[in-house]
Structure 1
Amino acid sequence: MLGIVISHADVASTHIGEHLRSLRDWETSVDETRPGSEGGGTVYRTDGVELREFEALHLDIERVGAAFDSPDLLVFASKHAGETDELLTAHHTGNFGIAEYGGEDGRFARACPGAHTAVVSALQRHAPPDYEVGMECTHHGPTAVGVPSMFVEVGSAEPQWKDPDAAAAAARAILDLADEPADKPRENGTRRHLLGVGGGHYAPRFERVVRETDWAVGHIAADWSLDVLTEWADSDEERDAVLERALQASAADYALMEGDRPDLQAAIESLGYRVVSETFVQETTGVNLGLVEALEDTVCPVDDGLRFGELAPGYDGEWTVLELPTELISDVRGVDNEALRETIERQSIAYVTEQNGTVFTGPIICPAGTDLRAVVDPLVEILERRFDSVEWAADELIARETAFDPDLARTAGIPEGPKFGKLASGESVEIDGEEIGPERFQRERIRRYTL
């Protein structure tokens, strides 16, 4: 069940609440067990959604989840104040250091990374034309909520807080969460959740991850948050305890870091979590994390060149590692590198590359039982653009070409220079008044690839 918190002390929240009530048919009841200022009084319910109103500002409300009837997710409808223009935004709550604006020092509310991803998308769908949609770092309370939660906000000043179109957009986006789980599904004993480390307050890198991949982001420690943490923590142990709490509150086993922070990376890894690159996040999108782990353990890590082919998404069967001759890969690449890459991607679960994933080197990982010849045949088609013939002979591929041999030309007394170029291009040349054809200086070359 989705719980929605409306604060009468927040003008934007009040307006969002009005639009929420206008968008659905709500059943009302009266909760006499709680004061009206603390979520009691009139309660609104509809289709898996419960809305309650409070007098205090959101960041001052503690254990608000207890006011609702077994919620799975809580959304605080709120205003955003900042130096930005028209903005719809969402973020999780907590403090990486001293709690200046609600909550406890170095503590975090349980994040809802899956629902957060969904609401960023929903805000984009519903946003008025002049409004941008963004994400923020973790920067204020409350920290004791009792259920996965986040803020959904309209900003960044009073004209926007009172803008009916902005309030309606936020209300629609919140209602779109009625059937959304708080977290990404569990796979391979983990979830596609990231702790964000570094960057600016509005977290463009982490927003890109949310928009472009199937990974979600929980708490985010912006650069200024890390400075606050450093100033507040009395020791490395206290700093590490805060990082541990942030990871746990994000339900994350992974961290994505912006910038070079070896001390923080070492600290996070010493706690038993993995710091991954944006390349890892992008490349593993759509690929089962169990398969990713198995291939990284057996072949090589993504950051060392492992890439996933068209067969990877949804694949959960057995696989085999096929080694292709280095000479074959090199010759095919020399004919058409793009066609080589497309052919390998089409046939593979995964493959190994160099130069930031741009150059295929092998091996190739295919479904168990894949015939090596079936993998090589499309490469033969590329080779045939260069060679006169390419044929199989038992476990050997033989490529033949007739080409200009400069040694034959030198032996015949042909001077090096333009005439060499013409002969190499298949043209005749004139020497001492005699026209000489290129075939006199051609020799058959054979390339053998053992498979």
Structure 2
Amino acid sequence: MTLAIVESRVDRASTHICDRLRERADWTERTDDSRPDADGGGTYYRLEDAELRSFDDLHIDLESPADAFDCDPDLLVFASRHSGDTGALLTGHFTGNFGPAEFGGEPDAVADAAPNALARLLAAFDEYAPEEYEVGMEATHHGPTDVGCPSLFAELGSGDEQWDDPDGADAVARAILELRTVDPHRSRQVVGFGGNHYAPRFERIVRKTSWAVGHVAADWALEAMDHPTAHRGVLERAFDASEAKIALLDGEWPVLEETLESMDCRIVSETWLREVDDRPLEVVDRVESDLGAVDDGVRFGDRLADPFAVVDLPADLVSTAQGIDPDRVRAIVETETVAFTTDNGGSRVGSRAAIPESESETAETDSEGKSEREDPSSDALETIIEELAGVLEEKYDAVTVEDDAVVAEETAFDPRLARQVGVPEGPKFGALADGESVTVDGETVSPERVRTERTRRFPI
């Protein structure tokens, strides 16, 4: 991994960041007489895995800046200012134009993105930012669109005070240096569409999931782009430049959805990305095919086994156990399954699950001497049933797991017996149910006197 860093001499935030970069590492000073000083030649700086060069122009006006570097960079970072009415802010973003090119680059063009590097940059900003600074991610905007390698902007903002702040500049410099060890791309990333310029939905994905986010076309960029079908090329380029095949939309964009679907692009929800997280996508696809869609309430368990079997969970047992301790039931099912259905907006375990097939299937012989195999999912299902029976023990006096049912026995307050001995309904019913004696017409009625034994069977 080799990192190229671009300094713009007309951007004083950039020069301050790069001054701190030069102070923070043991650079070797070199001279390049093959290029003008204005275009990255003259004095430049090298580390084993990084190179820093200075240019006279603003970053947005540079064309193919990677060509100026001897290190054949895998990633290029523009150390830059951020301008706006946002106060002290450190930001990162990719470059390009989903439509006209008002601030550098070409229209309908985007540069190669570095989704994983942006995720690492935001995490480093979080670590190094002075207390008064916010950290954020911006949508794709401005040039350059032809860089020569994956790139991103690392910015210090948002006004004169911050551009001259040594602590802010140092935070950006330290974050940039951490990018020397990062692969620009992850194995999974998405392209974002919609939302505001500071992209909160897409920043949540970067921060809270294993997914990285490449190019983001904010609301204003989509409006500037106009009709998506007339700009299909830049949409395709955004996916190629982000090394992504999946899209996340913020807002309602029906024509854009149709266009993306015609490009064989998969459109997913934020819920889908959160729930899938780092799970193998081939397993996710089979779960959604065999069990149900994540957006319809399917949730993933802790087991990553494949193959798996889809089974019915014992509904009455699950429902009763959830009435006793829903969090424990959820933990039991999550621990033993690949995935499971849910009800009530995902808050309660549903009636079906994908369960790992046993690693060792034992062969048995039937009455005719033919070899049979036990149900490959029986081990996991039996464990779930046994654990759910354990939940029932919190309420019932005795719980037994039989071949076809879980049997629960309890001695409980019987309203019928209470009425027979003259106890009026109301507070005294409650007292007896809580195990307290009551007095009726001068006679003491103990809770044992109005209890009866009950047996419930939960089919499995």
TM-score computed with the length of structure 2 as normaliser: 0.87
User: Which residue of the partner structure matches residue 247 of structure 2?
Assistant: 255
User: Which residue type is aligned with residue 192 of structure 2?
Assistant: G
User: Which residue of the partner structure matches residue 199 of structure 2?
Assistant: 203
Does 2:133 correspond to 1:131?
Answer: yes
- Equivalent-residue separation in structure 2 for 1:123 and 1:247 (angstroms): 26
User: Which residue of the partner structure matches residue 257 of structure 2?
Assistant: 265
Does 2:292 correspond to 1:300?
Answer: yes
Which deviates the most, 274-283 or 214-223?
274-283
Superposition deviation, residue 420 in structure 1:
4.9
Change (3 A) 1:434 1:170: closer
The one-character-per-residue Cα deviations of 1:8-27 (angstroms, maximum 9, x if unpaired) are 12111122222222222222
Q: Secondary structure at the match of 1:34?
A: coil
- Equivalent-residue separation in structure 1 for 2:265 and 2:96 (angstroms): 20
User: Percent identity, aligned pairs only?
Assistant: 48
- Equivalent-residue separation in structure 1 for 2:175 and 2:443 (angstroms): 84
Structure 2 gaps of 5+ residues are 359-378
Instruction: Please list, as runs of the form range in 1=range in 2, the aligned pairs for 1:239-254 lying within 5 A after superposition.
Output: 239-254=231-246
User: Which residue of the partner structure matches residue 5 of structure 1?
Assistant: 6
Superposition deviation, residue 432 in structure 1:
7.0
User: Which residue type is aligned with residue 204 of structure 1?
Assistant: P
Preserved CA contact (<8 Å) 2:389 2:401: no
User: Which residue of the partner structure matches residue 48 of structure 2?
Assistant: 47
User: Which residue of the partner structure matches residue 182 of structure 1?
Assistant: 184
- Equivalent-residue separation in structure 2 for 1:243 and 1:155 (angstroms): 29
Which deviates the most, 123-132 or 110-119?
123-132
Change (3 A) 1:13 1:414: closer
Match of 2:83 among 81, 95, 116: 81
Superposition deviation, residue 262 in structure 1:
3.4
Does 2:190 correspond to 1:194?
Answer: yes
Match of 1:165 among 159, 164, 167: 167
- Equivalent-residue separation in structure 1 for 2:440 and 2:6 (angstroms): 93
Preserved CA contact (<8 Å) 2:305 2:357: no
Match of 2:270 among 269, 278, 284: 278
Match of 1:122 among 99, 121, 124: 124
Superposition deviation, residue 50 in structure 1:
1.3
User: Which residue of the partner structure matches residue 31 of structure 2?
Assistant: 30
- Equivalent-residue separation in structure 2 for 1:325 and 1:374 (angstroms): 13
User: Which residue of the partner structure matches residue 374 of structure 2?
Assistant: none
User: Which residue of the partner structure matches residue 150 of structure 1?
Assistant: 152
The one-character-per-residue Cα deviations of 1:333-379 (angstroms, maximum 9, x if unpaired) are 11111221122223333322122321111323333223422222121
Which deviates the most, 437-446 or 26-35?
437-446
Does 2:332 correspond to 1:332?
Answer: no
TM-score computed with the length of structure 1 as normaliser: 0.89
Change (3 A) 1:361 1:266: same
Which deviates the most, 350-359 or 439-448?
439-448
Which deviates the most, 126-135 or 87-96?
126-135
Instruction: Please list, as runs of the form range in 1=range in 2, the aligned pairs for 1:350-369 lying within 5 A after superposition.
Output: 350-369=339-358
User: Which residue of the partner structure matches residue 287 of structure 1?
Assistant: 279
Match of 1:217 among 200, 208, 213: 213
Instruction: Please list, as runs of the form range in 1=range in 2, the aligned pairs for 1:53-92 lying within 5 A after superposition.
Output: 53-69=54-70, 70-92=72-94
- Equivalent-residue separation in structure 1 for 2:438 and 2:137 (angstroms): 70
The one-character-per-residue Cα deviations of 1:119-151 (angstroms, maximum 9, x if unpaired) are 111122221222221111111011111211011
Change (3 A) 1:81 1:447: same
- Equivalent-residue separation in structure 1 for 2:84 and 2:305 (angstroms): 47
- Equivalent-residue separation in structure 1 for 2:112 and 2:357 (angstroms): 42
- Equivalent-residue separation in structure 1 for 2:156 and 2:294 (angstroms): 39
Q: Secondary structure at the match of 1:125?
A: helix
Superposition deviation, residue 331 in structure 1:
0.7
The one-character-per-residue Cα deviations of 1:237-279 (angstroms, maximum 9, x if unpaired) are 2144332222222222222222333333333233212222222
Q: Secondary structure at the match of 1:176?
A: helix
The one-character-per-residue Cα deviations of 1:291-337 (angstroms, maximum 9, x if unpaired) are 3222222212222112223x34xx35433334221111111011111
- Equivalent-residue separation in structure 2 for 1:24 and 1:372 (angstroms): 57
User: Which residue of the partner structure matches residue 347 of structure 1?
Assistant: 336
Q: Secondary structure at the match of 1:266?
A: helix
Instruction: Please list, as runs of the form range in 1=range in 2, the aligned pairs for 1:371-390 lying within 5 A after superposition.
Output: 371-390=380-399
Q: Secondary structure at the match of 1:178?
A: helix
- Equivalent-residue separation in structure 1 for 2:252 and 2:158 (angstroms): 32
Q: Secondary structure at the match of 1:3?
A: strand
Preserved CA contact (<8 Å) 2:324 2:394: yes
User: Which residue type is aligned with residue 178 of structure 2?
Assistant: D
Q: Secondary structure at the match of 1:200?
A: coil
- Equivalent-residue separation in structure 2 for 1:359 and 1:144 (angstroms): 50
Change (3 A) 1:394 1:49: same
Q: Secondary structure at the match of 2:112?
A: coil
- Equivalent-residue separation in structure 2 for 1:96 and 1:116 (angstroms): 20
- Equivalent-residue separation in structure 2 for 1:423 and 1:88 (angstroms): 65
Change (3 A) 1:389 1:42: same
Aligned residues between the structures: 438
Change (3 A) 1:414 1:288: same
User: Which residue of the partner structure matches residue 104 of structure 1?
Assistant: 106
- Equivalent-residue separation in structure 1 for 2:284 and 2:3 (angstroms): 33
User: Which residue type is aligned with residue 5 of structure 1?
Assistant: V
- Equivalent-residue separation in structure 2 for 1:226 and 1:428 (angstroms): 73
- Equivalent-residue separation in structure 1 for 2:90 and 2:438 (angstroms): 74
The one-character-per-residue Cα deviations of 1:49-88 (angstroms, maximum 9, x if unpaired) are 0112111111111122222232111111111111111111
